[in-house]
Chain A
Amino acid sequence: MWKEISERECGKIRNSLFTHRIKTTRISSLNISNHKDIISPHRGSINSLQVDLTEGRYLLSGASDASVAVYDVQRATDHEGGGVIEKHRSILVIDKQHEHGHKYAISSAIWYPVDTGLFITGSYDHYINVWDANTSQVVVNFKMPGKVYRTAMSSLATSHMLIAAGTEDVQVRLCDISSGAFAHTLSGHRDGVMSLEWSSSNEWVLFTGGCDGAIRFWDIRRAGCFKVLNQSHTQFGRRPQLVHSNTEKASTSKSSTAGQSSSGKGRIAQRKNVNGNSIKPSTTGKTSSQTKGSKQRLHPGMLSVQDRATAHYGIVTGLKATEDGMYLLSAGSDSRLRLWDVESGCNTLVNFEATRLQTTKPLQLAVSQDSDLVFVPCMSSLKAFDLWSGKSLFDFRAHYENVNCCWYNAQDQELYTGANDRQILVWSPPKYTSNEVDEMRKEQASGCDQDNWSD
């Protein structure tokens, strides 16, 4: 580490590379944290975890005893064992006793992406509640047609405040917080929707994975989905990154502009072409605009063959888009993980090592910074896979029952996991004691943890 710092000092390595290296070493040394305990007040399995996106400080957890809690992960509420163990107690708990509290299990709890003043919970009692975090009162609520499996908000969105909700129902609904009404219903799935993910590069694009095994891509400005992923439609390996990032950038810029209004000439020409095609109602974001005509003609939504394509044999339990928005990782009840190229919609055929996944619950996956690692709950352990090779690198075992959710805190390189055994565990890189006082204290506290051979 010192070598890197000196190199950075000399200007041998770039700033970003330096931070990347440090973060990578820290991630590779993740282990269960002995100095940070989150005291979970929940009396049921933890179904959802999220750290707020603005400060990276407040952890929100939703549990199946219809309770939701918020913790400060940076400042401990109290200490134990001579300051060795920091205890983080919940700073806010809402449970069944609350007058507007949920009646049944909370399946998803997410922060409002813009600030920490609001959070959203979806529950098996068919309601989605929007809470004011300061007063812990319900601001808006939405009645859904069935159990709510997942809710999602786009972290990029600047022009809409939509909660996408996946429920038992076949339709995905978009709930508008500002108006308090449903903005859209997206129909296409043939069964309930267990996983939802907004694109991390385009605020209009939503990915949904259903119990029918299909993953659908939606442009919320249009009716119908514009792509159904097919597991047999494959491409070998990912494309070279350089080319990729270029096209990606171009596409995002184009798509964003295309979203608002028409722009460049080539674009108009293409559009005409598309309109003339008449199979597809219009351009749908970057993908269609970038792909070739032959692809466009095969556009799903109309073609029943394509429309019935499946991404997994079984339920799609988890979806996670990479940071750059170019790849989508999906987990299914067939215990498979698949990495999809968002642009082409192809299965990249990355062979993730054999695991066993929970089949009945929606899973929450997490991706590390720079999308090197993906964290997947595999029964009672959490596994970290290399995203590009599919190798299982780490196996985090400490939970005694099935892990449901995990969240990677990119700011502190910490990982949080929630499981059926009602525990929220913190996985962190080893703590570097910065000053001598700390060291001394630690020495003292750990004095009794030494070899003790009597004979």
Chain B
Amino acid sequence: MEADDGENSRKVVALIEKAVDSTRPEVDPRVLKSIKYIVRNSDSELRIATRTLLSLMKRDHSQVRFLSMLIIDELFMRSKLFRTLIVENLDQLLSFSVGFKRNLPLPAPTAVASVLRSKAIEFLEKWNASFGIHYRKLRLGYEYLKNTLHYQFPNLRENAARAQQERRERELKTKEILMKKFENLTENINAIKEEIQSAVDEIAECLDIIRNKDDSMPIAPIDDEDFEEFRNSELREIRLDSLKEGERVQENSDNEIIFDALRELYKVLVTKHLAAVQEYLSVLTRVEVVNTRSRDSMLRQFIDIKNNIQSVKKRCEESGCSLRRTTSPEEDVIWEEGDLESFKKASDSKSGQDEVHASASNAHESRNEAPESSGQTSKENDKRYQADISSESDPLRNKLLAEAPLMNWGSFLDSWGSSQDILANQRGFDLDNHWGRVDLDAVIPAERIAELNVQATFYSEEPGEVQPCRAPLRNGQLCQRKDLRVCPFHGHIMPRDDDGNPIKQSSSDEELNLSVGGDLAEQLATQAVKNVRERDEKDAKQREIDRRAMKRAKLAKVREHNETVLKDAALASTSRSLYVGEETEASTQTKLSTRNKKESLATMLKRKETAKDRLSRKLLNARQRMQV
């Protein structure tokens, strides 16, 4: 038993040391799991683990401290005994992880040290929030760092609580509003119902009347044909179209009033009542009330109403009082005037109205119809139309637009593209404020005008993005200096990858530069051939490499699968076997990677030579030379 204990404790120590011996920013989850597994079984192991972790926290390497801190956090959130042990030594732990004592700053890799500090502060806050009430020392440590040393805590919990609170308030408010609406509704439901019912009834009556009249007036189209004779061909076409379309109910001077009323009612029904009913429905479905029965009955009523309205709406649409008809009488009136100018204006304004009237359902329809119906299409209308559709169609236009230069607005645009001569001295107004001779024939030729209107264009520099230097810095970040060519710290600016390593550009342009002296064309040709060959070769090589890599990946996958299966089997059996599995894995892994791992931990400590160092050394050398 004793020996077993000793063995276990050794295992704990070994496992923890293994977990800590890594350059990665997290602990290997498998190792962590086995640590937890062993430590969980007995208190003595937990004590040993605590001691080991605390001694590791004293290591002169921030990475080691960071990883031990992660393990400590894992255990702290789980074990009560561990908590009591850690809290006993909390001041030590904090000084080693936060480094608040001036004589004990955090050790070497500064990037890791800063991560360690922020993580430790975060952990402390978390611990204090969950267990602070049971451990005075935890509270003390937290208060000391917060109030005396003024460390910035992430304040996660409080922020979350605040967000929660805000959300709750918002919900409460919406609930209140809903409730109020619901109450209003329960009070006014009868009035609403009556109103809607009356509107529906009226529409139904109107429809009935129209239907009746419709039956009695089959001669309406003949009348129209009589008129057609003194109208132009285009109008006739449209009229025919509309006749073809609208074989349902024809509108004329007799039933015009009824149609108007119907349209009015329809509009009211759709825009007001239907929308209102939909809103009521949403209110009813969202509101939470004690008495669900009344709500359900109301819901049912409103659904019925809605269905009713929709059926009425459908009937209206079938009967032909859809919105495009609203414009037809006005159109007629304008056509009879026959004046081109006024027609243009009127149709302009009309089409504007058109759009205002258009409800969402048939806006598209009306838009498409507008240019068609307004016969001799005015220029503006046409333009607008084109502008409307140009975005989706007309690739040629798009291409031209892309090519076209941008001009500033000016008076010269008045005569843009015109090839007319311009009268020169029409009014006899001469120079020097004297009335002079009037020469009615004097003209300025168009070419001359064009010449005069030539616009000076100024070159304006495009505000280009200056690329940052992106050379790797000591703290693991990339240099953010923006220089055009040369960074004073890192030399020539070159494209770099995400780690800051320069991407080697093909040296072809250099070669080109070198060989400029020779026969350029020949050189270029040979170069091109060479390039093509090179590319082919490279492709082939790449393919080969890919194939190999794929094969290797497949093999690795198979191996991994085998390993996991074996390991799971081991896990399933006993803790001892688990450990054994870990150990063998550990040993093989360490055998494979001890060298580079050890090196990497050590190399983390080693200071990288920065550009600054290089510069200073160079300066020093120069100075020495000067002195010599």
A contact residues vs B (CB 8 Å cutoff): 32-34, 37, 80-81, 84-85, 380, 397-398, 400, 421-423, 425, 445-446, 448-455
Contact between B148 and A422, CB atoms less than 8 A apart: yes
Majority SS at the chain B contact face: helix
Instruction: Tell me if B483 counts as interface (CB < 8 A to partner A).
Output: no
Rounded to whole angstroms, the CA-CA distance of A84 and B136 in the bound complex is 11
B114-140 residues at the A interface, CB under 8 angstroms: 130-131, 133-137, 140
- The residue that A398 contacts in the complex, of B79, B131, B136, with Cβ under 8 A, is B136
Contact between A397 and B91, CB atoms less than 8 A apart: yes
Contact between B140 and A400, CB atoms less than 8 A apart: yes
Smallest CB–CB gap between B25 and chain A, Å?
Answer: 22
Rounded to whole angstroms, the CA-CA distance of A268 and B96 in the bound complex is 68
Please indicate the chain B residues that have their CB under 8 angstroms from the CB of A425 in the complex. Answer: 136, 140
Instruction: Tell me if B10 counts as interface (CB < 8 A to partner A).
Output: no
Contact between A449 and B140, CB atoms less than 8 A apart: no
Query: Given known contacts A423-B140, A425-B140, A448-B130, is B135 in contact with A453 (CB within 8 Å)?
Result: no
Contact between A446 and B40, CB atoms less than 8 A apart: no
- Chain B window 488-520, contacts with chain A (Cβ cutoff 8 Å), 1 for yes, 0 for no: 000000000000000000000000000000000
Please indicate the chain B residues that have their CB under 8 angstroms from the CB of A445 in the complex. Answer: 133
Query: Can you show 24 pairs from A to B with CB atoms below 8 A apart?
Result: A32-B137, A34-B134, A34-B136, A37-B136, A85-B133, A380-B91, A397-B91, A400-B91, A400-B140, A400-B141, A400-B144, A400-B148, A422-B148, A423-B144, A425-B140, A448-B130, A448-B131, A449-B80, A449-B83, A451-B79, A451-B81, A453-B79, A455-B36, A455-B37
Instruction: Tell me if B157 counts as interface (CB < 8 A to partner A).
Output: no
Instruction: Tell me if B33 counts as interface (CB < 8 A to partner A).
Output: yes
Apart from the given pairs A422-B148, A449-B83, A453-B78, 11 other A-B contacts in the complex at a CB distance below 8 Å? A33-B136, A398-B137, A400-B148, A423-B143, A425-B140, A445-B133, A448-B131, A450-B80, A451-B79, A453-B79, A455-B33
Closest A-chain residue to B100, C-beta based? Answer: A400
Contact between B78 and A452, CB atoms less than 8 A apart: yes
Contact between B79 and A34, CB atoms less than 8 A apart: no
Closest A-chain residue to B145, C-beta based? Answer: A400
Closest B-chain residue to A422, C-beta based? Answer: B148
Please indicate the chain A residues that have their CB under 8 angstroms from the CB of B137 in the complex. Answer: 32, 398
Smallest CB–CB gap between B31 and chain A, Å?
Answer: 14
Residue tally, chain B, CB below 8 Å to A? 23
Instruction: Tell me if B77 counts as interface (CB < 8 A to partner A).
Output: yes
Smallest CB–CB gap between A247 and chain B, Å?
Answer: 45
Contact between B134 and A449, CB atoms less than 8 A apart: yes
Rounded to whole angstroms, the CA-CA distance of A34 and B135 in the bound complex is 6
Contact between B40 and A453, CB atoms less than 8 A apart: yes
Contact between B136 and A452, CB atoms less than 8 A apart: no
Closest A-chain residue to B101, C-beta based? Answer: A400
- Chain B window 9-37, contacts with chain A (Cβ cutoff 8 Å), 1 for yes, 0 for no: 00000000000000000000000010011
Smallest CB–CB gap between A40 and chain B, Å?
Answer: 10
Query: Given known contacts A397-B91, A400-B148, is B131 in contact with A452 (CB within 8 Å)?
Result: no
Please indicate the chain B residues that have their CB under 8 angstroms from the CB of A80 in the complex. Answer: 133
Please indicate the chain A residues that have their CB under 8 angstroms from the CB of B91 in the complex. Answer: 380, 397-398, 400
Please indicate the chain A residues that have their CB under 8 angstroms from the CB of B131 in the complex. Answer: 448-449
Closest B-chain residue to A82, C-beta based? Answer: B133
Rounded to whole angstroms, the CA-CA distance of A219 and B79 in the bound complex is 61
Smallest CB–CB gap between A398 and chain B, Å?
Answer: 5
Rounded to whole angstroms, the CA-CA distance of A32 and B136 in the bound complex is 7
Contact between B134 and A451, CB atoms less than 8 A apart: no
Rounded to whole angstroms, the CA-CA distance of A397 and B144 in the bound complex is 14
Rounded to whole angstroms, the CA-CA distance of A209 and B81 in the bound complex is 46
Rounded to whole angstroms, the CA-CA distance of A32 and B135 in the bound complex is 9
Please indicate the chain B residues that have their CB under 8 angstroms from the CB of A421 in the complex. Answer: 144, 148
Smallest CB–CB gap between B474 and chain A, Å?
Answer: 32
Rounded to whole angstroms, the CA-CA distance of A392 and B462 in the bound complex is 79
Please indicate the chain A residues that have their CB under 8 angstroms from the CB of B79 in the complex. Answer: 451-453
Please indicate the chain A residues that have their CB under 8 angstroms from the CB of B143 in the complex. Answer: 423
Rounded to whole angstroms, the CA-CA distance of A44 and B448 in the bound complex is 90
Please indicate the chain A residues that have their CB under 8 angstroms from the CB of B40 in the complex. Answer: 453
Query: Given known contacts A421-B144, A423-B140, is B133 in contact with A454 (CB within 8 Å)?
Result: no
Smallest CB–CB gap between A30 and chain B, Å?
Answer: 13
Contact between A453 and B36, CB atoms less than 8 A apart: yes
Closest A-chain residue to B131, C-beta based? Answer: A449
Please indicate the chain B residues that have their CB under 8 angstroms from the CB of A450 in the complex. Answer: 80
Q: Which 9 pairs across A and B sit closest by C-beta, in order of nearness? A: A81-B133, A449-B134, A34-B136, A400-B144, A32-B136, A452-B78, A451-B80, A453-B78, A453-B40
Rounded to whole angstroms, the CA-CA distance of A448 and B127 in the bound complex is 12
Please indicate the chain A residues that have their CB under 8 angstroms from the CB of B141 in the complex. Answer: 400
Smallest CB–CB gap between A91 and chain B, Å?
Answer: 21
Please indicate the chain A residues that have their CB under 8 angstroms from the CB of B83 in the complex. Answer: 449
Closest A-chain residue to B141, C-beta based? Answer: A400
